[in-house]
Structure formats: structure tokens, C-alpha cells
Amino acid sequence: MTLLGIATVFCGLTVLVHVVSVVVAAFRCRARTGHMAPRRDTPPVTIVRPVCGIENFIAETLETTFTLDYPDYEILFCVASPSDPVIPVVEELMRRHPGVPARLLIGNDPVSSNPKLNNCVKGWQAAAHGWVAIADSNVLMPCDYLQRLLAAWRDDTGLVCAPPIGSRPEGFWAEVECAFLNTYQARAQYVADSIGLGFAQGKTLFWRRDVLEGGGGIKALGADVAEDAASTKLVRAANLRVRLVDAPFEQPLGRRGATEVWRRQSRWARLRRACFPSYFLPEIATGGVLPALAFAVAVHQLGGPVVPLLVVFVLAWYGAEMALARAARWHLSPWYPVHGLLRDLMLPALWLDGLLGSSFEWRGNEIQVEAQVEADSRAT
């Protein structure tokens, strides 16, 4: 095949995949039209919220746990250290909402190398109900949060999750993080979920207790360096599916710096490589940079004006992502093409970093990442 043919086929296929992924994600994440009221037969639920340190918007995100329109639920806040500065915030929220059953559990159970999982063990063990939602402290819960999780459950479901949707960014790099979280990562996850390959996302893990206990209990989630990867494998081993909730939940970002965004994306890349190497390797071909280069090569081979047509191509590529953000009513900057292009320019470097990196630091903990390619390939 000629260079023109290779460039044309590659560009055409990637554009097709891109457009289809935008359409699928726009349908799954389209803005909701109203509040979902709880059903009369709705089951009681335990919400486990691991907390650690003072994050942006921490009081606001945690307070949304107390304002759910749900008839019967309890909240278990889990803190590893008795000197954690977030404890007064949690205690004040419990004082302000005495009508909602809530407890603060302090202590650490070192069942794995994963600090978050170790912090959650006591919450899982103390949960009074058969349905348990483990939700990160920076998730902003709408008042129908639990109804929407339950609505995603089917007979073949083992776990319901929701990827984070970045909102309220402050500054350039927070906008770039929105481009990573929303129109890139969430889009990919909803496409995978729509074809039956849903992956767990640790922001929200909504379990029916017997499913996790049947797979070895919460300690079994220490089998992988990331609890969401272990959750995915446990559910698939039980011949069940991980499903994503439609119209996922917000994570308000606030201000972000370049180093912070890089480290977070680097950590996730290394975790994906370690836990799902067969899915990680093709990521090098994602994003808009390689399709744009292929388009430029094809135009050059045909003798056309490369620069103006390439600008049109890039604007159309990121314009499709902007249409997704509008359909879902996610945060959208008029400078989004710049943020999206920078994100995609970072992707090859992040892919290489994920391929070669062997550890990362998370909340002061040095965590080793080891790829077990054969075992992970069998599991997936």
C-alpha cells in the first residue's frame, strides 16, 4: 500500500471511531431531565466515604452525602489517622445533620499496599446493609445519587460505577484536566461499557454485598495495586458485568498545576499498564495527534494546502468533543481546542511513562507497580 493509502485508511478509521465514540458517550451521558424519585421498595444502603486530608471543596462534597433524597441509608466516614485534619470537618457536618445516621471510623487495616483500600476495610466490615456504595471524598453527590446507581443494576450486574466528571476548573491546567477526565477518559469508558467491557472506576463502587463477599470479601480487592482493577477482575470472574451509571457525577476540581495533572495522569497510566496491559498498549494510537498527522500526509500527497486544511481538521476533531460536552452539560471552555490538543500532545509521553514506570507516590505513600501480563490477559 502506498503512503497515501496508509495515511488515508488510518485517518479514516480513526475519524470514524472518534465520531462513533462521541455519539455513544453523548447518548449515555446526556443531561438528565429531572429528579429520580426513590421507589417504595428501595433497599437500605450504606455509603462508605474514605477521607484523607483537606481537598478542594471537601466540606461541600462531603455535605452532599447528608442531603440525599433516599429513605434509608447510613454514612460511614473512614479516616486512617487520628490526627488527620479532615476529622473536624466531618464532625462538624455530622453535628449539622443529626437526622442522618452517620459515624466516623478511625484506624487503618493494612491488608494491601493500597492505602485507600486499607482505609475502607473498617467501613465495609461495619456496614449494616446489603448494598454498599464506596465513594471518594471528592465526588459531588446529587440528591438522587443512590436511585441512579440502583437504576443501572441488572440481573447480570456485579458492580455499578461512575467515572468522575471534572467541573469548576480554575486556571489553565485544571481545564486540561477536564479534557482528560471528561471528553477523553469518560468517553472511552462509556464506549467500553456499551459493548459489554465495562471497567470499574474507584470514584464510586456500588456493590451488592453478597457479590463481593462471594469473591473473597473486601480484602480480595488487594489482589491488584488498584482496587478498581481488582474489582473489575473479581466481577468478570463471577461471569457478571461492571456497568456504568448514565450521566455520571461531578468532581469539582478547583485550581490545578501542571505537575499535579501530570502526576495524576502518570499514576493512572502506570496502573492501567500494570493491571490491564492488553488494553493499555493500544492507547498509543488514541487522541487526535496521529490522525492529524495522517491527514496532513494525505493532503500533502494529494498536493493540497496542508496548513489551512489541517487547522480545519483539528477544529472539527475537537469540535466533536465540544458537542459531547454540550450534550452532557459538562464544563466547556471556548478555548477547549487548545486544552484538548495539549492533552493529546501529552498522551504519547504519558503512554511511554506508563510503559516504563515502576512506581508512583500517592498521598505520601510510595507504591510499586508491577505488570503481570500473562495473568492479567487471562483475567480479562
Helix, strand, or coil (residue 371)? coil
Please report the pLDDT score of residue 113 as a whole number: 86
Are residues 233 and 314 both part of a single domain?
Answer: no
Q: Using CA atoms in the order 75, 90, 145, 25, what is the torsion angle rounded to 10 degrees?
A: -130
Are residues 56 and 8 both part of a single domain?
Answer: no
Q: Which three cell numbers stand for residue 52?
A: 484523607
Are residues 91 and 130 both part of a single domain?
Answer: yes
> Which of these three, 256, 284, 305, is where a domain ends?
256
Print the domain residue range for 142: 36-256
Are residues 115 and 214 both part of a single domain?
Answer: yes
Whether the CB-CB separation of 235 and 201 falls below 8 Å is answered with: no
10-residue mean pLDDT profile of the chain (380 residues): values are 94 96 96 86 96 95 98 97 97 97 96 92 97 97 96 96 96 98 97 95 95 96 92 96 95 96 94 91 94 97 96 98 97 97 97 88 71 40
Long-range pairs, 147-152, Cβ under 8 A, ≥24: 147/36, 147/37, 147/38, 147/39, 147/42, 147/69, 147/70, 148/36, 148/245, 148/246, 148/247, 149/204, 149/206, 149/245, 150/42, 150/43, 151/36, 151/245, 151/246, 152/243, 152/244, 152/245, 152/246
Q: How do strand 365-368 and strand 359-362 relate by DSSP bridges? A: antiparallel
Are residues 249 and 102 both part of a single domain?
Answer: yes
| Cα distances (angstroms) measured from residue 331 to each of 108, 335, 344 | 37, 12, 19
Are residues 284 and 333 both part of a single domain?
Answer: yes
Are residues 115 and 141 both part of a single domain?
Answer: yes
Nearest to 171 by CA among 260, 235, 82, 103: 260
Are residues 70 and 21 both part of a single domain?
Answer: no
Residue 269 within any structural domain of the chain = no
Are residues 242 and 305 both part of a single domain?
Answer: no
Q: Cα 127 to chain center, whole Å?
A: 24
The CA distance from 220 to 212, in Å, is 8
The CA distance from 318 to 349, in Å, is 20
Are residues 44 and 7 both part of a single domain?
Answer: no
Are residues 80 and 13 both part of a single domain?
Answer: no
The CA distance from 108 to 142, in Å, is 29
Q: Cα 350 to chain center, whole Å?
A: 17
> Which of these three, 229, 256, 283, is where a domain ends?
256
The DSSP symbol for 140 reads B
Residue 288 within any structural domain of the chain = yes
Residue ranges of E strands in 45-140: 45-50, 73-79, 102-106, 131-135
Domain count for the chain: 2
Please report the pLDDT score of residue 339 as a whole number: 98
Please report the pLDDT score of residue 371 as a whole number: 42
Residue 262 within any structural domain of the chain = no
- How deeply is 306 buried, as exposed, middle or buried, from its count of CB atoms within 10 A (0-12, 13-18, 19+)? middle
Residue 264 within any structural domain of the chain = no
The CA distance from 93 to 163, in Å, is 26
Residue 7 sits at the vertex; the CA angle it makes with 19 and 284, to the nearest 5 degrees, is 65
Residue 196 within any structural domain of the chain = yes
Are residues 181 and 279 both part of a single domain?
Answer: no
Please report the pLDDT score of residue 370 as a whole number: 63
